[in-house]
C-alpha cells in the first residue's frame, strides 16, 4: 500500500535530519518545503514564495501518488490541521495510508539549537511555531501518529 508520511513540528525540531535518514533507509520519495523554496524562491529562507512552494509540493505529491510511488515523505512544519488539509485530501483521493511523525521538542532546546545553527531564525518565529503547534488526530485522517520526543 502507498504510504505518505508527514512530519509535524516547529523549526529546528529535527524533522529534516530525520527525513534524510528515513528516506534512504525506507526508499521514500522526499518532498521538502525548504528544498522547493530554494528552487522556487532562490533560497530556503525565502518565505515570500510559500504559497507557490506549497502548490508545487501538492502537485508533486499528487503526481507521485498517481504514478505509482509507494512511499512519500513530506518535510514541512505542518503545524495545524488547516496547513495539513490539502495534503490529507490528496492522500485520501488516492487511497494511500497517511502517517504523522511529530517532533515534540521543548522550546528551550529549539532556541539552543538555533544559537549553534549556521542559518539562524528569529527567536519570535521559533516561539510562534512552537506555540502554534496543533498535534494531529486520527479524526483528521491519520492512520498512525508517532511522537518523536528528543
Cell 531564525 belongs to: 121
Q: 48 pLDDT exceeds 70?
A: no
More confident: 50 or 16: 16
pTM assigned to the model: 0.90
When pLDDT is averaged across residues 65-81 and rounded to a whole number, the result is 92
Q: Are 17 and 32 in contact (CB under 8 A)?
A: no
Tell me the domains of the chain and their CATH numbers. 3-149 (3.40.50.300)
Cα 73 to the center of its chain, rounded Å: 8
Q: 118 pLDDT exceeds 60?
A: yes
Cα 27 to the center of its chain, rounded Å: 17
Q: CA 119 to CA 28: how far, in whole Å?
A: 26
Amino acid at each position: 500500500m502507498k504510504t505518505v508520511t508527514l512530519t509535524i513540528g516547529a523549526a529546528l525540531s529535527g524533522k529534516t535530519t530525520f527525513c534524510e535518514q528515513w528516506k534512504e533507509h525506507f526508499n521514500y520519495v522526499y518532498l521538502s518545503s525548504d528544498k522547493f523554496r530554494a528552487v522556487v524562491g532562490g533560497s530556503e529562507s525565502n518565505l515570500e514564495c510559500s504559497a507557490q512552494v506549497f502548490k508545487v509540493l501538492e502537485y508533486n505529491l499528487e503526481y507521485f501518488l498517481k504514478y505509482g510511488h509507494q512511499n512519500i515523505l513530506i518535510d514541512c512544519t505542518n503545524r495545524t490541521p488547516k496547513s495539513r488539509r490539502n495534503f490529507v485530501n490528496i492522500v485520501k483521493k488516492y487511497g494511500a495510508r497517511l502517517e504523522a511523525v511529530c517532533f515534540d521538542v521543548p522550546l528551550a532546546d529549539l532556541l539552543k539549537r538555533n544559537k549553534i545553527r549556521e542559518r539562524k531564525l528569529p527567536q519570535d518565529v521559533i516561539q510562534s511555531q512552537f506555540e502554534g503547534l496543533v498535534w494531529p488526530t486520527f479524526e483528521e485522517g491519520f492512520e498512525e501518529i508517532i511522537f518523536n520526543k528528543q
